[in-house]
Structure 1
């Protein structure tokens, strides 16, 4: 019994202290490598694209394309702010609903003492408090409630097709001006509200427009020809 016990103990010692590879090294049976592909495994082929030899590439005629440089900006000088670059405005809109007007541009009978007989603007009558918006992209050069005969008014300079144009919005309600000098605005941005401040006989928007030479022109005719939306 002691001999059997010693043999068992020796066998256990051999099994726990000798590497399994050494024990199986005498195994003469041929076995598959654990690194060999599994029997019956499918080998995936990489994808390929076959192009017919008759296919031809169509060249692009570069003569069909024109490259144009962006139009240069116009420099505008704003008091207290300095020079400001004005890019061309892509859109022009009405400042108010244009369906109701009173005095047009040019000679007229003065409607009040101190009112001009040569009207430098166009008078729109959309009603007291109606919102007034910028006719185009630009920069505000004046925004004041101390405008004398204009009362509360705003001036905006624009780059319209490479030409410097200024629009002036007069007789706004006190406290309604929403912009300040040097501020950039876009077409349709609110400037203030229709009022009757300054030399005025009733609520209306007096719109004046002029170029770099300061000469006023007919804003109604200009807007009718240039409004885009």
Structure 2
């Protein structure tokens, strides 16, 4: 289709030019996340009102992936996929504790003899909340004369790496989990106590490798990129 438009200037009054017609509102040569670049034939289909299944697929809602826990609904109709968190948290909130005795050989404050200290002591006020360092399953809740009441959790990271975390010197009545429970990263599991071989309120915290052998918990946590509660975007 052509449009004959009379013009003036360097041409005579009887001259004319031919202009291509264009439907108002039609965008050509442009693309976006909802409307990729289309060929002229596709534009023709749109102008004629013919919308194929492929055309409809191009304007479906985008998929949003978030590393946060849980599920949520989105009012605009977009689809959201929630994935399991692989975040590692420190077992106590920032500012609530002080490291008082590191991992390694030391003179026991109880017996006065040299022995292996298999964890790290984090002094904190009595009843300060303790949190699971990662998603996992509680494999032991017990009590003995040395450790007092304690919780042991088995964890498996996204890459398949298995490790264990252990929380000693609690009081049984303050422990919030049971053997067999599934726990989430950052979930409260108990509170700081001073049961067992203890000279004051503190958490004796251990990390065990996949073979259930002790390793330096502070070094392991730092290498794993541990953060404190409230320091990630999901909280």
Residues 1:56 and 1:111: Cα distance change in structure 2 (over 3 Å): farther
**CA-to-partner distance for each residue in 1:134-162, whole Å, 9 max, x for gaps?**
00000000112x23311110000001231
Match of 1:113 in 2: 111
Residues 1:115 and 1:212: Cα distance change in structure 2 (over 3 Å): farther
RMSD of aligned C-alpha atoms?
A: 2.8
Match of 1:103 in 2: 101
| CA distance in structure 2 between the aligned counterparts of 1:149 and 1:223, rounded to whole angstroms | 24
Secondary structure, counterpart of 2:198 in structure 1:
coil
Indicate whether 1:152 and 2:153 are aligned.
no
| CA distance in structure 2 between the aligned counterparts of 1:115 and 1:178, rounded to whole angstroms | 34
Residues 1:175 and 1:114: Cα distance change in structure 2 (over 3 Å): farther
Question: Is the radius of gyration larger for structure 1 or structure 2?
Answer: 1
| CA distance in structure 1 between the aligned counterparts of 2:27 and 2:84, rounded to whole angstroms | 49
**CA-to-partner distance for each residue in 1:57-87, whole Å, 9 max, x for gaps?**
7xxxxxxxxxxxxxxxxxxxxxxxxxxxxx9
Aligned partner of 2:173 among 175, 199, 221:
175
Question: Where do residues 35-184 of structure 1 align in structure 2 (5 Å cutoff)?
Answer: 55=40, 89-97=85-93, 99-113=97-111, 117-144=115-142, 146-160=143-157, 161-184=159-182
In structure 2, stretches of 5+ residues that fail to align are: 1-24, 29-37, 43-82
Q: 1:105 Cα shift?
A: 0.4
* Bigger relative contact order (CA 8 A; separation at least 6): 1
Q: Compare the two structures and name the one with the higher helix fraction.
A: 1
Secondary structure, counterpart of 2:99 in structure 1:
coil
Aligned partner of 1:200 among 198, 210, 223:
198
How many residues get paired?
152
| CA distance in structure 1 between the aligned counterparts of 2:113 and 2:170, rounded to whole angstroms | 17
- Deviant stretches of 4+, over 6 Å: 49-53
Q: 1:199 Cα shift?
A: 1.2
- TM-score normalized by the length of structure 1: 0.59
- TM-score normalized by the length of structure 2: 0.58
| CA distance in structure 2 between the aligned counterparts of 1:166 and 1:88, rounded to whole angstroms | 18
Residues 1:224 and 1:50: Cα distance change in structure 2 (over 3 Å): closer
| CA distance in structure 2 between the aligned counterparts of 1:171 and 1:135, rounded to whole angstroms | 17
Q: Compare the two structures and name the one with the higher strand fraction.
A: 2
